[in-house]
A and B are shown apart, each in its own frame.
Chain A
Amino acid sequence: MAGGGGGARKSRAAGPVPLTTTLVLDNGADTIKAGFVSDDKSDDKPRIIPNCLARDRHRKIYVGSELEKCKDFSEMAFRRPVEKGFIVNWEAQKEIWDREFFDDKAPNKCNPSETRLILTEQPNSLPSLQTHCDQIVFEEYGFASYYRGVGPVFNAYRDIQSISRTPQVSIDSPAEVILLIDTGYSHTTVTPILQGRPLHPAIRRLDVGGKLMTNYLTRLLSVRHFDMRNEPYIVNEMKEAVCYTSLDFKGDMEKTWKGTRGEKREDYVGGAGIAKDYVLPDSHTRFHGVVRDYEPGVSARARKTIVSTEDVLTLRNERFVVPELLFNPSDIGIRQPGIADLVKQSLLALPIGLWPGLLANIVVVGGNSLSEGFCQRLQTEILKRFPDECRVRVARPEDPITSTWLGAANFAKHEHASRLEVTKQEYEEHGAAWVARKFAAGLGLDS
């Protein structure tokens, strides 16, 4: 997954680094997105670094991008510095940052005293965690300057109309109006943004994210097939490969029901286009799972005897009840509105005159948005909740996982960045509380 720009990075590390270099970090719970932006030369995409310490079944430990060297992911255990979307464990986070950015052989080697840091954070963090972050940035690393900003907001600095892959050379002004939905590992947030300013009173969070969905799939598999509770990596891979967002939940439910005792429902026997076989990794010849078309003719028992070395799961409603949690969290007892009602609650906190603009400019980012059918389902559900004349448009950039980084990279070149950044000297003069207030105040108004 790591970007291929290693050569460019090496040369940058070797030569003198101009002060205009910015390290842009989208520090996610699952992965860090990292890259450099400077006047002359910028990374056109971030390096994606697992933000974890991982231990395999032979008790070998991998830190961050070392995980790329791992082949066998069975019984993999993870320790993550980011919890609920926020950096909580700095012992682990510092270790990963050190190895990726600051050690002599770090892949994104950088000299903090000559570098500006732009770091994303999830909305509505706790003040103590923000302060910890600022203290580490200045007191431990000594970055020349720094801005910590709400991740979703950076997406306003992309050309949302023609969501393009490479950072623009320059962007005149952030998008007028966006309703940004970020559905990631820890949770899902809705952030209305006007001209690069988050409308804080209307930011809403649903505590359903990729982690919870993987855990839910793990539970379903463990009840129905094999005990997968010690296989988070494998289940996550399976989730990404087979899960989809249903556009007809009730219909798909009917198609995947086996029926009552002795009954052989046609849809169930034939798979109804929903059933898929999933071959689990065996840690010898196969290190990743494989999706296969379901073969209706072959009974489970027969299949077992034909290929006895394979552990094959037939997945049916497991494929769509997992992403369904984003739309109906109450399915597992969570008393929170689904994602479409999250949007509605956010808009209800705003003047009605802003609704049309926001509804016509919904942008979804984050890994969960990659689930097939997600955007269409979201659009349908939002439409149901607003007047017919409201134009609802849901767009997903082609790179929803790196979109926030790409936006932040554009932001780094924008005049707003220099307005918002805090220098090391300012930190030393005014202290952490002042820095936190300045970041919380944001851009303010222009005129």
Chain B
Amino acid sequence: MNNFGVIEVASQKTKNAPGWAYVPDTGLTPAAAAALQPLNRKRAARDKANVGAPDLTARQDAKIRKDLEALDKDSHRDAQIPIPPKAGGSRGALSSKLYTQKRDHGADMTSAWIAQNKHTPNVRKILQSQKTFANHLDDYHAFLALAESNPQLAAQVNKPTPTTTARNSPAPSTITTASTNKRSSAASKRAAVTAAAAAAAKEEKAGSSKRPKTQPQPKPAPADDDDDGDVEMTPETTEEATAAADPSELLPPRPDTSTPLDDSTTETTETEPPKPQSYPPDGTILPAYARPPPVPHPGDDDPLLVSRVPPFPTDEELRALMTAPPLSYTEARAQWTEEEEGRYPVRRFCEVCGYWGRVKCIKCGARVCALECLEAHREECLVRYGL
């Protein structure tokens, strides 16, 4: 590793250095790549404290962010590939009307051939939508923010009408999600207002359009179902639905059985008449799971290893886990824990050849491995940043 072939200079602070510096690989890159990294407030604050870190200039920071955005794209060019006409036109040749739609989410004009007559209003709206995933995610966050700041208005927005059922879909654990929402409150409020306005506009538009015949009339007050984070089936389920689903879903969880490993098949018969083909009833949730726990470990002070005898989860715990609602898209995204924040070595690589980046260009902060790559880099560096 000492076979380096270059002379180390004092530090990057030396103004008259020959243009590079040897840097030991230490710290984290603080604010790297915010594009893919929604930060929570706490972390943002930590990063702010790190801004003075010498390793990463604002320019480099921006470069990483830009690079990650590019890596996230589906294609280098924006591929505007239109739907080609069908040969033969077997299935009702794409008919009639050209919609030119200007979306509220951006300035892009899009036009789509939509066969107007054969779609329900819901379907027509969906097919015309040119929203990206990011647009949908923004909408969702805006709605959560609204629910946080103004639950009543959120309920209004959330009120199901035939053409706004999209907004009536379940938002499991809306409240908790909102409270862990990573956006600053100012931004959320702004977004909430926009969302409310947009939704209001849509509802207005929807009201004037003809209601689809297939759409059921919404239940009187289902909004509370959505807001209390409850994803259990609604009790007014009709006979057919109940037959398909398990009646136990409608019942409160059974009290805990204290003997997790014994089989008490008799219990199930008393609650409900046996269903045809029902799932094999068992008194416990994991009956086959009778293996002895791992033996104690010397390193038990590690929080991961506190398992002197890992307590087997109670049925109650398992029941809660198996019926817990899904997390939101944002909640499921893995983030560095505090511990990992410190432990993760951020490895830096030579931008020219990909080997370890042990030398840093003073001008732009780019890493290279040694002199040969530095020279190659400096040509590019000159072109890009001038002297």
Contact = CB atoms under 8 A, between A and B. Distances in A.
Interface in A165-192: 172-173, 176-177, 189
A95 B168 contact: no
A203 B165 contact: no
Interface stretch (B9-17, B182-190, B332-340): B332-340
B83 A95 contact: yes
Contacts of A212: 71-72
B36 A317 contact: no
Interface string A129-151: 11110011011100000000000
Contacts, number: 394
A280 interface: no
B67 A445 contact: no
Contact of A447 (B226, B283, B356): B283
Contact of B326 (A124, A336, A352): A124
A354 B286 CA distance: 10
B192 to A, nearest CB: 16
Interface string A199-236: 11111111100011001101110011000011010000
A437 B235 CA distance: 12
Interface stretch (B18-26, B129-137, B145-153, B202-210): B129-137
Contacts of B170: 127, 433, 436-437, 440
Contacts of B293: 353, 356
B77 A200 contact: no
Contacts of A425: 240
Contacts of B329: 124-126
A95 to B, nearest CB: 5
B70 interface: yes
A438 B233 contact: yes
Contact of A437 (B129, B212, B233, B267): B233
Interface string B84-96: 1010101100000
Range of interface residues on A (Cβ < 8 Å)? 35 or more
B225 interface: yes
Given A63-B84, A177-B286, A390-B294, A91 B112 contact: yes
Interface string A62-100: 010000000000000111100110101111101100110
Interface-centre pick from A88, A98, A176 (highest chain B CB count, 10 A):
A88
Interface in A332-355: 332-337, 341-342, 344-345, 350-355
Contacts of B232: 437, 441
B297 A77 contact: no
Interface string A89-119: 1111011001100111100000000000000
A1 B257 CA distance: 51
A431 B160 contact: yes
Contacts of B346: 330
A79 B77 CA distance: 11
A79 B75 CA distance: 8
A355 B305 CA distance: 11
B76 A232 contact: yes
B180 interface: no
Contact of A260 (B4, B29, B123, B280): B4
A426 B77 contact: no
Nearest to A204: B334
A428 interface: yes
Contact of B324 (A86, A99, A200, A433): A200
A432 B168 CA distance: 8
A79 B81 contact: yes
Contact of A80 (B74, B219, B245): B74
Interface in B183-241: 212, 214-216, 218-219, 222, 225-226, 231-234, 238, 240-241
Nearest to A421: B244
Contacts of A132: 126, 129, 166
Contact of A139 (B122, B226, B245, B268): B122
A298 B322 CA distance: 61
Interface in A406-441: 415-416, 418-423, 425-426, 428-434, 436-438, 440-441
A123 interface: yes
A337 to B, nearest CB: 5
Nearest to A351: B313
Interface stretch (A283-291, A305-313, A366-374, A381-389): A381-389
A330 B349 contact: no
Contacts of A63: 83-84
Interface-centre pick from B281, B304, B312, B331 (highest chain A CB count, 10 A):
B304
Nearest to A95: B83
Nearest to A430: B216
Given A77-B81, A177-B286, A353 B248 contact: no
A390 B293 CA distance: 10
A258 interface: yes
A215 B241 contact: no
A321 interface: yes
Contact of A444 (B84, B128, B245): B245
Nearest to A96: B83
Contact of B327 (A89, A124, A344): A124
Given A61-B84, A91-B83, A194-B322, A215 B169 contact: no
B385 interface: no
B249 interface: yes
Contacts of B86: 99, 103
Contacts of B289: 176-177, 357
A33 interface: no
A197 B326 CA distance: 11
12 contacts: A83-B74, A103-B86, A194-B285, A204-B333, A260-B3, A261-B371, A336-B335, A422-B244, A429-B216, A431-B216, A441-B231, A444-B245
Interface of B: 3-6, 29, 32-33, 36-37, 64, 67-68, 70-77, 79-84, 86, 88, 90-91, 112, 119-120, 122-123, 126-133, 136-137, 139-140, 160, 165-172, 212, 214-216, 218-219, 222, 225-226, 231-234, 238, 240-241, 244-246, 248-249, 253-254, 267-268, 271, 277-283, 285-286, 288-289, 291, 293-295, 297, 299, 304-307, 310-313, 317-319, 321-329, 331-337, 340, 344-347, 349, 351-356, 369-372
Given A173-B280, A230-B76, A330-B345, 16 more contacts: A103-B86, A104-B90, A126-B137, A140-B123, A203-B332, A219-B67, A253-B355, A330-B32, A345-B337, A416-B279, A421-B244, A422-B241, A426-B240, A431-B218, A432-B169, A440-B325
